[in-house]
Amino acid sequence: MKKVLMVYGTRYGSTKFTANNLAKEMRKLKLDVKVLDLKKEKWISPQGYDGLIVGVSVAMFKWAKEPVKYLKKFKKDINVPLGIFISSAMSVAERDGAIKKFIDPQMEKIGLKYDLADGFGMYSDLSKKMGFAKGILRSMVLGFSKDRGKEYKSTGINDFVHYDRIKIFAKDFAMLIKKRS
Ligand SMILES: Cc1cc2nc3c(=O)[nH]c(=O)nc-3n(C[C@H](O)[C@H](O)[C@H](O)COP(=O)(O)O)c2cc1C
């Protein structure tokens, strides 16, 4: 069974949610996926894995710091297919724009090339404690809810995740691994 390491950095939980969904899809494709929360768990090298996926929370136009540090730390060990996905408000409606704005420049700064990139939208659980961010998230998801005629839940889950893209990403990544081996 081919092994995939998926690491992520989340601030408010959306990247964790999408990482777990992506892992579920990849396991359906018979891949052995290890998911690692870079804020909470011990970091491991991608060496010995057949693919690496990095999930990134975007806020205030910036990546969460852990995925940046992880990619820099293990840059030399990354010689397998590399997938990057973001969780960002912009990626709810403007997937291509979000990749150009938030993924490409940061990867150039780090000095790494990805094989696959996507933005999976966002998932906001507004029942959770999160300080000042909650007001900002509320106004974002209220706007998305209005635009899409969806019910807005001021103290609950507002789901603007592109599950279709998660499935496609899983399939495309599995193909990349197959091609390289
Ligand atoms: C304080 C704050 C700033 C944000 N800034 C941006 C931004 O610059 N661009 C964007 O597309 N989304 C922005 N967002 C939306 C986040 O990208 C979105 O909530 C995402 O799901 C966060 O991922 P996480 O929950 O894994 O941390 C912002 C959200 C907050 C709360």
Q: Which domain holds residue 105?
A: 3-123+161-180
Residue of the CA atom closest to atom 1 of ligand 1: 133
Atom index in ligand 1 nearest the CA of residue 90 equals 11
Task: State which of 102, 122, 158 you would mutate to test the pocket of ligand 1, scoring each by most atoms of that ligand within 8 A of its C-beta.
Answer: 122
From CA 18, how far away is CA 147, in angstroms rounded?
22
- List C-alpha distances in Å: 154 to 92, 102, 118, 134, 148: 19, 27, 28, 10, 16
Residue 121, CB-side half-sphere exposure with 13 Å CA sphere: 18
Cβ of residue 122 lying under 6 Å from some atom of ligand 1: yes
From CA 148, how far away is CA 159, in angstroms rounded?
12
pLDDT of residue 107: 98
Q: pTM surpassing 0.95?
A: yes
User: What is the chain's mean pLDDT, rounded?
Assistant: 97
**Residue 132 falls within a domain, yes or no?**
no
**Residue 152 falls within a domain, yes or no?**
no
Residue 181 has pLDDT above 90, yes or no: no
57 alpha carbon – ligand 1 mean position (Å):
7
Q: Give me the sign of the Cα torsion angle 15, 168, 26, 175.
A: negative
From CA 40, how far away is CA 142, in angstroms rounded?
30
139 alpha carbon – ligand 1 mean position (Å):
12
pLDDT of residue 35: 98
Atom index in ligand 1 nearest the CA of residue 10 equals 26
Number of folded domains that form the chain: 1
177 alpha carbon – ligand 1 mean position (Å):
30
**Residue 104 falls within a domain, yes or no?**
yes
pLDDT of residue 21: 98
In 3D, which of 60, 95, 71 has the Cα closest to residue 9?
Answer: 71
Location of structure tokens 């603007």: 160
**Residue 38 falls within a domain, yes or no?**
yes
Residue 50 has pLDDT above 90, yes or no: yes
Cα 166 to the center of its chain, rounded Å:
10
Atom index in ligand 1 nearest the CA of residue 13 equals 25
**Residue 20 falls within a domain, yes or no?**
yes
Per-residue pLDDT, averaged over 89-98, amounts to 97
In 3D, which of 41, 30, 42 has the Cα closest to residue 4?
Answer: 30
Cβ of residue 11 lying under 6 Å from some atom of ligand 1: yes
Strand, helix or coil for residue 29 = coil
From CA 154, how far away is CA 144, in angstroms rounded?
13
Burial bucket for residue 167 (CB in 10 Å: 0-12, 13-18, 19+): middle
**Residue 151 falls within a domain, yes or no?**
no
**Residue 128 falls within a domain, yes or no?**
no
**Residue 143 falls within a domain, yes or no?**
no
Cβ of residue 86 lying under 6 Å from some atom of ligand 1: no
CATH of the domain at 24: 3.40.50.360
pLDDT of residue 157: 98
pLDDT of residue 26: 98
Q: In the numeric block, which tokens belong to residue 100?
A: 């150009």
User: Of all residues in the chain, what percent carry a pLDDT higher than 70?
Assistant: 100
